[in-house]
Amino acid sequence: MKAVILVGGKATRLEPLTSNTPKALVPVLNIPFLEHVIRHLSMHQIKDVILALGHLARPIEDCLGDGSKLGVRLYYSFEDAPLGSAGATKNAEKYLNETFLVLNGDIFADLDFTAMVNLHRERKAKVTIALTSVDDPTSYGLVETAAQGRVTRFLEKPKPEEVTTNMINAGAWFVEPDVLAQIPAQTQVSFERNVFPNLLDQGEPFYSYHSSGYWMDMGTPEKYLQLHRDLFSGKSSHYTPASGMEVLIGEQTDIHPTAKITGPVVIGTNCSIGREVKLIGPMVIGDGCTVEEDSVIEDSIIWRNVRLGQGVSLKNCVVADNCRLSAGSCGGESVLGDNVTLASNCKLKPGSKILPGTTVEPET
């Protein structure tokens, strides 16, 4: 089977983390997000993967190459302007001559693609869409179904009074290639808003696959942090922790004997953890980071090549690549883009989002 992964968007909800880093390469447990997705596809014998690219395409291609290190064959489809989910898939049509899977590029899920495609074939469907349940469907695409899971209606981001079910589009669907004939080339078209409702109007066989497995839309920094908490607690098959207090330490990482680490914690390679540092999980520290003495870091994600000075305090924070936090600086529930500098004794307000390259001085 083949899969198209839609990774061309700007991921504005994840900013400032995605100002210079495509969402496909945002690290999850120190591994690019898209690597987790592709390995999951490979487990279900989906070995040909087309990446529909737009914004920040080159870093993705440079990182993943031909896909051989992930056990798949990667192909790249580029769009000069945003084409929408259907338009981007149409743009990759030359690769799609058989039943194929389309995936939204910010979904982290335990979907059983083998069972899903088997259902698709048994029902002789034109499209089979994965559904998952959420507490509040108003931020998603609500999907109504009838007997045997046949889809009857789509409603994007319904108002509270319009909600009739908590089942939503899980961002994955199997499609027959002749559906592409209904999509104009080089035109911005949405599967969810345009193509799917048209197929229902035409009476085409359109079915749903209900999944009760783990599902997370990694669309905001808050959900990005929650994804890590969920993975550390064993909620997803993508990661199986050895224990709830697990501490994993990368090669050539030096940890001072007085440092106290309370798992679950993942520390990358070539890191330095100083005297009397406290690391309180769940948390991740990327490669090449330095945490100086007396710093306290809790429930946070630190990317690569970050330097945390003496007595830095962070809780519920995400810190992107190459940041420098000077002595005594602190933050809670804050997000720092790459190359941010915090001056000594700088205290971030809760909820702060600091743009890349910014230098923050303490308030006087």
Q: What is the DSSP string of 50-62?
A: EEEEBTBHHHHHH
The whole-number pLDDT of residue 238 equals: 83
Ramachandran class of 297: left when φ > 0, alpha when ψ lies in -120 to 50, beta otherwise: beta
Q: What is the C-alpha to C-alpha distance for residues 249 and 234, in angstroms, rounded to an integer?
A: 19
Model's pTM, two decimal places?
0.93
Residue whose C-alpha is closest to residue 169's, from 209, 197, 205, 141: 141
Give me the pLDDT at residue 137, please.
87
Confirm whether 94 is a catalytic residue.
Answer: no
Rg (Cα) of the chain, in Å, rounded? 22
CA atoms within 13 A on the CB side of 193: 10
Residues in the chain: 364
**pLDDT tens, N- to C-terminus, the chain (364 residues):** 899 999 988 888 999 999 999 999 999 999 999 999 999 999 999 999 999 998 889 999 999 999 999 999 999 999 989 999 999 999 999 999 999 999 998 899 999 999 999 999 999 999 999 999 998 888 888 899 998 899 999 888 888 888 888 899 999 999 999 999 999 999 999 999 999 999 999 999 999 999 989 999 988 999 999 999 999 999 998 888 877 688 999 999 999 999 999 999 999 999 999 999 999 999 999 999 999 999 999 999 999 999 999 999 999 999 999 999 999 999 999 999 999 999 999 999 999 999 999 999 987 4
d(CA 99, CA 32): 27
User: What is the structure's pLDDT at 151?
Assistant: 94
* Residues 6+ positions from 188 with CB-CB distance below 8 Å: 81, 82, 83, 84, 87
Provide φ and ψ at 111, rounded to 5°. Answer: -65, 135
Side chain identity at 71, as an amino acid letter? G
Partners of 261 in beta bridges? 279
Please identify which of the residues 10, 90, 94, 157 carries the catalytic annotation: 157
**Domains, the chain, ranges and CATH?**
2-232 (3.90.550.10), 247-360 (2.160.10.10)
Q: 259: which 2 tokens?
A: 């440092």
User: Is residue 78 within 8 Å of residue 101, measured between CB atoms?
Assistant: no
CA distance 335 to 337: 7
The amino acid occupying position 20 is N
pLDDT for 72-126, tens place per residue? 999 999 998 999 999 999 999 999 999 999 999 889 999 999 999 999 999 999 9
